[in-house]
């Protein structure tokens, strides 16, 4: 199995979806070996502990050079023999030295149908506020590879979600998480791990 690290910053509902899918035998090609939180307050660390997955905080220090932070992150990934990284609500911009070291081995879940409502400044509730502001009738979520362009890597999977009359950003965010993010991400982890382990397929 491919040793996989899930990088988190907040509540960890996407992490939980991955952990639940793993427990249900739906991710046979990946071992969820480590959870890396960008801050010690992330409830996602509680979820990891409950699932018996080691958790660690790797926080970018104020004023720390982005490359130095990247080197610290890479050291943790290498020490833990990580072959696949999954950004699940991770809010720190990944340094280029990490992206280069893990080319086509970093996944991200974004809460819109890329290329809509993505890129710099589009994260969390802001994405859904922009979708409601624009008046789209359909939104959704995207799993994509991470490259040096924010939300710019190759698209792996997408799932559409209806925008309903009366939706607030919070209601829409919850529907997108339930109907799209938590479905797409575990499946994308399995598919990507399977392809990395069986390149001939």
Which residues form the catalytic set? 110
Q: At what angle do helices 182-197 and 13-23 cross, to 10 degrees?
A: 60
Q: Report if residue 38 touches ligand GRF, rule: CB under 6 A.
A: no
Minimum distance from residue 14 beta carbon to ligand GRF (Å):
3
196 and 105 in contact (C-beta within 8 Å)?
yes
Q: Report if residue 14 touches ligand GRF, rule: CB under 6 A.
A: yes
Measure the CA–CA gap between 36 and 53, rounded to whole angstroms.
10
159 and 183 in contact (C-beta within 8 Å)?
yes
Stretch of residues binding ligand GRF (CB under 6 A), selected from 3-11, 47-55, 93-101, 188-196: 3-11
Q: Report if residue 169 touches ligand GRF, rule: CB under 6 A.
A: no
**97 versus 169: smaller Cβ distance to ligand GRF:** 169
Q: Measured in Å, how far apart are the chain's first and last C-alpha atoms?
A: 16
Q: Report if residue 88 touches ligand GRF, rule: CB under 6 A.
A: yes
Q: How many helices (H) and strands (E) does the chain have?
A: 7, 7
**151 versus 190: smaller Cβ distance to ligand GRF:** 151
Going by C-beta distance under 8 Å and a sequence separation of 6 or more, which residues neighbour residue 44? Answer: 6, 8, 9, 10, 11, 12, 15, 35, 37, 55, 88, 89
Stretch of residues binding ligand GRF (CB under 6 A), selected from 13-21, 25-33, 72-80, 162-170: 13-21
Q: Report if residue 151 touches ligand GRF, rule: CB under 6 A.
A: no
By the criterion CB under 6 A, which residues form the site for ligand GRF? Answer: 8, 10-15, 44, 88-89, 109, 111, 124, 173, 181
């Amino acid at each position: 199995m491919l040793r996989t690290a899930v990088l988190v910053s907040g509540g960890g509902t996407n992490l939980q979806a991955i952990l639940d899918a793993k427990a249900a035998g739906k991710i046979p090609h990946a071992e969820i070996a480590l959870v890396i939180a960008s801050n010690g307050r992330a409830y996602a660390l509680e979820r990891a502990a409950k699932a018996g997955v080691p958790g660690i905080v790797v926080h970018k220090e104020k004023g720390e050079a982005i490359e130095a932070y990247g080197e610290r992150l890479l050291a943790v990934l290498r020490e833990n023999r990580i072959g696949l990284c999954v950004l699940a609500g991770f809010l720190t911009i990944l340094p280029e030295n990490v992206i280069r070291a893990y080319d086509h081995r970093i996944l991200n879940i974004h809460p819109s149908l890329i290329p809509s409502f993505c890129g710099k400044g589009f994260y969390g509730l802001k994405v859904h506020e922009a979708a409601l502001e624009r008046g789209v009738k359909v939104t959704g979520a995207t799993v994509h590879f991470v490259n040096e362009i924010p939300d710019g890597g190759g698209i792996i999977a997408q799932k559409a979600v209806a925008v309903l009359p009366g939706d607030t950003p919070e209601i829409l965010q919850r529907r997108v998480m339930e109907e799209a993010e938590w479905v797409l991400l575990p499946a994308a982890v399995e598919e990507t791990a399977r392809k990395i382990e069986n390149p001939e397929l």
